[in-house]
Amino acid sequence: MNNLAIKVSELSKTFQIYKKEPGITGSLKSIFNRKYVDIKAVNNISFGIEESELIGFIGPNGAGKTTTLKMLSGLLYPTSGTVEVLGFKPYERKAKFQKQFSLIMGQKNQLWWDLSVWESLMLNKAIYEVNDVDFKKRVGELSEMLEISDILHIQTRKLSLGQRMKAELLVSLLHSPKILFLDEPTIGLDVVAQKRMREFIENYNSNYGATIILTSHYMEDVKQLCKRVIIIDKGIVIYDGLLERIVDKFASHKIIKVDFDETISRNDLQRIGEIKELSDIAATLYVPRDEAVKRAGQLLSSFNIRDFVVEEMPIEEIISQIFEVKK
């Protein structure tokens, strides 16, 4: 890969956690003899991300996603391994580096609650030393893209969740960061707000050429925005590649949806595949992927069928099954 914006090699992060025995006795013992255990949140991961790439970084709760983003942004110091972002070592926290990235966390607020959005913008303008010309241009462009030009002078506490998330993005992007870490940016938003947020992220990546890492529990975010995904579980990268190839690599079954011309019993269908849904004249079956053609043939020769279709398993279901197997 050429022009790597982010380079991660054998990166690990271990936390030391205090372990207390239960009850009053355990509390008394801990005064004199504390016991600690090491928890490896990120375990020897490596990957590279090219300039202007928009990738999905996905995994279950506790997988190590946020810990990794915090090391990439310099909030945490790695236990071992190396990480470079735009040629900088993030944990050195150099001012020149800090002006080139932004970390946006869906559950963390950086807007001042009692200030208007405009006042928060002015504050960030001073912090990042944005000149008047760039400030006016960026606020105009971004507020129009986010469709929030009419709320800039409203107090943050009076905004809806969707408006507040858009304002968070506006303030975070004021200094035109080259790297954008988005940690659950659509969490808590309704379906319409999620769609608009995805559209903005896609447009920002296209218009400004920003390198973006997106974490989300909403697979629709990832499917709509990311060609490439990195899947992490228990601190280990278990897949790094094109989203569309997850089906070929991990899917063990295909789905057959069938409509019958007559009422069918469960017993008649069980020899074809695993029954997921069944009504009098319709069924959804899961069949082994390498036997899909054979099982479809059995259906056609054994039943009076009005219509049927063979489909791939949904990506979100495949990923969910991957995590279940890893437990």
Model confidence over 299-327: pLDDT tens digits? 999 999 999 899 888 877 887 777 765 55
Verify that 299 and 261 share a domain, yes or no.
yes
Q: How many CA atoms lie within 13 A of 232 on its CB side?
A: 30
Residues facing residue 126 across a β-bridge: none
Distance CA(60)–CA(63), nearest Å, equals 5
Are 176 and 206 in the same domain?
yes
Q: 119 is in which domain, residue-wise?
A: 52-247
Final residue of a structural domain among 197, 217, 247:
247
Q: Domain for residue 147, yes or no?
A: yes
Q: pLDDT tens across 237-266, in order?
A: 999 999 888 888 888 889 999 999 888 888
pLDDT of residue 162: 84
Question: Domain end: 247, 271, 292, which one?
Answer: 247
Report the CATH number that the domain containing residue 274 is assigned in CATH: 3.30.70
38 domain-assigned:
no
Task: Compute φ and ψ for 97, nearest 5 degrees.
Answer: -75, -45
Kindly state whether residues 99 and 227 are assigned to the same domain: yes
pLDDT at residue 28 in the model: 67
Which stretches of the chain drop beneath a pLDDT of 70? 1-2, 20-21, 23, 25-32, 106-108, 324-327
Residues 293 and 181 in one domain: no
Residue 21 lies in a domain: no
pLDDT tens for 198-212 read 998 999 999 889 999
Domain end position, chosen among 199, 228, 247: 247
Number of domains making up the chain: 2
Predicted confidence (pLDDT) per residue in 165-185, tens digit: 889 889 999 999 999 999 888
Instruction: Give the CATH number, domain containing residue 238.
Output: 3.40.50.300
